[in-house]
A = this chain, B = another copy of it.
Amino acid sequence: MGSERIVTAAQLVIGDEILSGRTKDRNIGTLAEHLTNIGIRLKEVRIVPDEEIEICSAVNALRERYDYLFTTGGIGPTHDDITAESIAKALGVPIAIDPRAEKMMREHYAKRGLGMTPARLRMARIPAGASLVPNILSGAPGFRIGNIIVMAGVPEIMSAMLAAVTPELKTGDKLLSVTIAVERPESEVADILAAHQQRYRDVAMGSYPKLRDGKPVADLVLRCADSARLAEAAEALKSALDL
């Protein structure tokens, strides 16, 4: 086992509609799964309202602490979309219409017989120094500035932007996992699992209870970046559980 290369990330979800319960967020699950698959560890998520002071404060706390910060939401054409302005403010950089973004959008709209409007042009406002993240679905780009990647809130557009930015991301060792399903309440396997965790301290072990047809069952999940070590721990746990 060599030393692990660990790359971390946080996500900031921006939007009153998530906090009111009106819209059920889907971007957290999508980003979490994607980052795990490519070898980036999502360590923290925050959801804040469409308020500049809250966005700035969360952006600065998270970008300093993790290798990457992904934001979702608040980059549309309406007055309540204040993510780009807030990030510029958090970083202390100017923001203005970006000629590259405007060109990208005009080309996208032209193919669809749409024109540029003042409201659409608002989506070309990008903080100085950012690179653009293309949006094949609706034209207006996301952007990347420093270690912050700014994406749309509409799940389909967010996914397209995430796919576009992925090749540029630095990744680390993937945290591999094995799931062992047990058809018993987790309380009946807790002692075995705890003893096993003591024996394999380098393999993170968790128990995820759920109700299946109203009966408590559990998934035991083992996680480790070393596949051989993970397999060994998983086999040993199955034996200990008589599975």
Contact = CB atoms under 8 A, between A and B. Distances in A.
A188 B119 contact: yes
A154 B19 CA distance: 20
A29 B193 CA distance: 31
Contacts of A223: 16, 20
Interface residues of A, number: 72
Nearest to A42: B19
A21 B36 contact: yes
Given A16-B223, A21-B29, 15 more contacts: A13-B45, A17-B208, A20-B32, A20-B175, A20-B223, A21-B32, A22-B33, A22-B179, A45-B47, A78-B189, A80-B206, A81-B207, A119-B190, A154-B211, A156-B211
Given A80-B205, A206-B17, A208-B22, A191 B154 contact: no
B46 A20 contact: no
Interface of A: 13, 16-25, 28-36, 41-50, 54, 76-81, 117-120, 122-123, 137-138, 154, 156-157, 175, 177, 179, 185-191, 193-194, 197, 204-211, 216, 221, 223
Count identical subunits in the complex: 2
B16 A154 contact: no
B190 A79 contact: yes
A25 B206 CA distance: 16
B19 A45 contact: yes
6 contacts: A18-B28, A18-B32, A19-B44, A20-B36, A28-B47, A138-B185
A140 to B, nearest CB: 9
Contacts of A21: 29-36, 42
Which residue among A186, A190, A223 has the maximum number of chain B CB atoms within 10 Å of its CB?
A190
A73 to B, nearest CB: 10
A212 to B, nearest CB: 11
Contacts of A25: 28-29
A172 B123 CA distance: 36
